[in-house]
Amino acid sequence: MNEVKHTDAQLAKFRKLIIALSIVIPVAVAALFGIKIPGVDFSFLPPIYAGINGLTAVVLVSSLVAIKTKNIKLHQRLIQMALALSLLFLVAYVAYHITSDSTSYGGEYAALYYFILISHIVLSVVVIPIVLFTYLFAWQGDFERHKKWTRFAFPIWLYVAITGVVVYLMIAPFYA
């Protein structure tokens, strides 16, 4: 990120926006599970949003390589791409779940599946403010805080992206 100077009031607004998004997104997603739009078939979306998760993981690892090799511009673009992919995933995920019934896991590794699923869900909520604050710190030029927060943001975001693919691969045989 290029160092951007902001007033304390602007930074306070950004912080409030991040906190609001960190609350609104998970609450809205949970609420949308109670809404079903009949007659719309988005059953093709799970492999697509699983693919988006997989691509996000690749982009995140590539961004790590870019910053380790001091290619800051590439790192910035890759992180922005990872954020856009995460947003695209969210839209596809919500579209599928408001038009389709939930699928139950019926395999022999149910304990493993539910452990991965629950940790994926919990960390997908936790990662929202962590990633957004990490991005904000870089954007405002506070690279020390950015680096400190990245130590948490990167592995959690990568775990969420990878486990999204794993959850899909485990549940895919049970889709109707």
What digits encode the pLDDT tens for the residues 140-149? 899 999 999 9
- Residues with Cβ within 8 Å of residue 3, at least 6 apart in sequence: 140, 141
The reported pTM is: 0.89
How sure is the predictor about 101, in pLDDT bands with cuts at 50, 70 and 90? confident
Is 86 exposed, middle or buried (CB count within 10 Å of its CB: 0-12, 13-18, 19+)? Answer: buried
How sure is the predictor about 5, in pLDDT bands with cuts at 50, 70 and 90? low
- Angle at which helices 110-139 and 72-97 cross, to 10°: 130
The tens digit of pLDDT for each residue in 27-53 reads: 988 888 788 898 999 999 999 999 999
Q: How far apart are the first and last CA of the chain?
A: 45
What pLDDT was estimated at residue 4?
54
8-state DSSP, 40: -
Name the region of 141 (left: φ>0; alpha: ψ -120 to 50; beta: rest): left
